[in-house]
A and B are shown apart, each in its own frame.
Chain A
Amino acid sequence: MQAVAPGVAEVPGADVEPAAGRRRRLAMVASKGTLDMAYPPLILATTASAMGWEVGIFFTFYGLDILHRRRLSRLKVAPVGNPAMPPPLRGLPLKVPDILGALPGMPSVATAIMKRWMRQSNMPAIEELLEMARESGVKLFACATTMGVMGIRQEDLIDGAECAGATTFLDFASGADVTLFI
């Protein structure tokens, strides 16, 4: 392991190498349908793909909105009950009181702010990350139960989404080196 600069993480990788010819596998559950919670599974998925891993994400409950053709571009940040909401203007010491987050239009404001920060940081939009994930062969499992409960049909989902139940996902996850619930 090469030494890195002070203050920069230095972590060893796994001791056990996968068997010859077998790729490492990442299995994730994406259970949240807010804009901020759509990023982590997609960032981890595209990164793992770039590391040569096989990746599958099981989109369930509100997380299924990430695969929904129309809802995908309308994911919102939820300002209520989120004490980490930063001040609306960078450098402004005042945070917005939680109760104001419940006012009409506040989720749209919070969402617009986060989208602007993402753009300013050259971060891809959720649609672009999803496209990268699809291009690199990430498996996108759409929870069959969620589809049934919420009345979502296959044609409501983006191309590449595969309808599957918990059994299919667990079968995939049983061969995973890393599993995450988000």
Chain B
Amino acid sequence: MASSGIKPDQVLDCRGLLCPLPVIKTNKAIKSLAVGQVLEMLATDPGSKPDMLAWSRQTGHELLEVEEQDGVYRFLIRRKV
């Protein structure tokens, strides 16, 4: 899949975790970053894809990229607020 080449400032591994943990951990991690910095989150829960879209819409943090490879979802999120 095409990758934007953006380098994340922090990586959060949520592989093997189910809802609500990926969203809760992502929300905690994004708060530890400065506005403008980028978080990479890895997850295996297929629900995490629509959930991260909804979470970014609700919180205003920007979902830059979503990729899926071999059952692993990779999200790039920029802290906006």
Residue positions of A touching B, CB distance < 8 A: 1-2, 4-5, 8-11, 13, 24, 43-44, 46-47, 49-53, 121-124, 132
The answer to whether B23 has its CB under 8 Å from any CB of chain A is yes
Bound form: Cα–Cα A124–B22 in Å: 12
Counting chain B CB atoms within 10 Å of each CB, which of A24, A43, A47, A132 scores highest?
Answer: A47
What class of interface size applies to chain B in its complex with A? 20 to 34
- From B17, B19, B27, B68, A43 is in contact (CB under 8 Å) with B19
Interface positions of B from 33 to 58, Cβ below 8 Å from A: 46-47, 49-50, 53-55, 57-58
9 extra A-B contacts, CB within 8 A, seeds A11-B50, A51-B54, A122-B18: A13-B58, A43-B19, A43-B20, A47-B19, A50-B26, A50-B27, A50-B55, A53-B58, A122-B16
A47 contacts B23, CB within 8 Å?
yes
B21 contacts A122, CB within 8 Å?
yes
Chain A residues whose C-beta falls within 8 Å of the C-beta of B24 in the assembled complex: 46-47, 49-50, 132
Report 22 cross-chain contacts, Cβ distance below 8 Å, ordered by A residue. Answer: A2-B53, A2-B66, A4-B50, A5-B49, A5-B68, A8-B46, A9-B47, A9-B50, A11-B54, A13-B58, A44-B20, A46-B20, A47-B19, A49-B27, A50-B24, A50-B55, A51-B23, A51-B54, A51-B55, A51-B58, A122-B21, A124-B21
Chain B residues whose C-beta falls within 8 Å of the C-beta of A44 in the assembled complex: 20
Chain A residues whose C-beta falls within 8 Å of the C-beta of B63 in the assembled complex: 2
The answer to whether B59 has its CB under 8 Å from any CB of chain A is yes
Bound form: Cα–Cα A44–B20 in Å: 8
Chain B residues whose C-beta falls within 8 Å of the C-beta of A123 in the assembled complex: 18, 21
